[in-house]
Amino acid sequence: MPTTTGNDGSVRLAREVLAEAWHRYRRHLLPVVGLSLVGSAQRALVQFVGDDLAAPAAFALEAVTWGSRLLLVVLLWRWTIGSDARLRDVDLSECVRRLGRYARRQWPALLLQFAGLGVASLVFDTIPDLLVAPLVPPSGQAVYWAVLLAVKNPTIIAFSMVWMFALLHQALVRGADHRAGDDGKLLSERPAAG
């Protein structure tokens, strides 16, 4: 029978992930925001230029945007997973086992994380789209979407990415067979790889 942490433990684990995500987001604010703004600039340019943008230019801009996102993912992995000495010698098959153990043991905390992500998406994405977008006249739609994406890419979207890496980190640490990481330490207090 799967074990859980109970309501208090689930909330504690969920809060731990959010605290770690906020810590990482603030600590690496400049590169996270800078790489996220590449996508903002590309989307804004596409909104303003639209069909006048030549296909090779559109492709090149999209490639640069995806390159910046990939670099952000690599950096987030390095800052969140790669910097933890407890995960230094963990191979892919062990990662998969740990993720499975975490999902079985800590499923209420996992559900809280995904519910939190869903609420954040609803509040910061869906509701503004439903309430604000209809108020913008057709002539201002390009500016509205450009501004919205310029704000969301380095904030909501970037923080969500950091959040998911913090959750992955917690799952890899707390999903260890010997329950490594269940010592009550915050993820940000972990030993550094080195």
The pTM of this model reads: 0.81
Task: Confirm whether 81 is domain-assigned.
Answer: yes
Task: Confirm whether 100 is domain-assigned.
Answer: yes
**What confidence tens digit (pLDDT) does each residue in 145-175 have?**
888 888 888 999 999 999 999 999 999 999 8
Say what the pLDDT of residue 1 is.
39
Task: Confirm whether 87 is domain-assigned.
Answer: yes
Task: Confirm whether 194 is domain-assigned.
Answer: no
Residues of the chain with pLDDT under 70: 1-8, 178-194
Task: Confirm whether 89 is domain-assigned.
Answer: yes
Give the domain extent around 13: 6-189
Say what the pLDDT of residue 127 is.
86
Q: Which helix (H) or strand (E) holds 48?
A: helix 29-49
Say what the pLDDT of residue 6 is.
55
Question: Domain tally for the chain?
Answer: 1
Going by C-alpha positions, the residue among 157, 163, 165 that lies closest to residue 37 is: 157
Cα-to-chain-centroid distance, residue 49: 30
